[in-house]
Amino acid sequence: MTDDRADIIRCMLRQGAGGGWPDRAIVPVVEVESEFRLAVDTCSSVGTGFILRAWPACVITAAHNVRLAGVPTPEAVTLAALASDGSRRFRFQAMALAYPTQWRNADLAVIRLAYALEAADAYETAAVPATGDFSLELLSCAMDGPLEATNLEGRYASPWIQYTKGVGAPSMSGGPLLRDGRVVGLHVGQIHAAGRDIDAGFPFDGDLATQCMLATVPRKDEG
């Protein structure tokens, strides 16, 4: 866990008309699309995020979903969510985001929404087992399909949760890693460790996430 206050990168995001705020309960796993402005063009990246019961106005995702090399913050972030009853899909925009400057050692970002979401079965968190292999469930939600679950096995090898069985797709970056229904980490993707490339996640750091969450609260001069 993080003991000292981290240096946080914070940005307010451009908000357009959006496609409609959810008018009913949603699945607590969402698609995260970040739009970046480059020197002569724009590009976007797509990943996954999730909602904690304690923070209904925030989405947790991986920091690398909301930044590019040389472009530390996106212009806009659009969330896509599925109604919990499967009846509708929603697209809406985020208001702000924050992540630690040393994000490669703590691949976590918090996205702030304009309002709290009603998320059916939003998640609680738990600690990563310190020793031994353990089973994990990785969740993702793409707009062209239902909630997807990938079964994995992993082991904690600081600072990562290294997968010993199973892999995640690139669009799953930032998705929750569940153990017994509680979030213990989030999916990162491929890393280089012990002389080889392996798939891994990052343990959920509640202290660091709280610092990022507080950094996204609008200031008085921002309305």
Q: Which of 109, 104, 130, 129 is nearest to 192 (CA)?
A: 104
Shared domain for 55 and 31, answered yes or no, is: yes
Q: How far apart (Å, rounded) are the C-alpha atoms in residues 21 and 24? A: 9
Tokens of 124: 């609680």
DSSP string for residues in 157-216: ETTEEEEEE----GGGTT-EEEETTEEEEEEEEEEEETTEEEEEEEE--HHHHHHHHHHT
Shared domain for 38 and 97, answered yes or no, is: yes
Domain tally, the chain: 2
> Which CATH number goes with the domain that contains 185?
2.40.10.10
pLDDT, tens digit, for every residue of 206-222? 999 999 999 998 876 66
pLDDT, tens digit, for every residue of 77-94? 999 999 999 888 899 999
Residue 168 identity: G
Give me the residues paired with residue 60 across strands. 50, 110
Asked whether the whole model's pTM tops 0.75, one would answer: yes
Domain of residue 155 covers: 133-204
Average pLDDT, rounded, for the chain:
89
The percent of residues above 70 in pLDDT, for the chain, comes to 91
Residue 127 lies in a domain: no
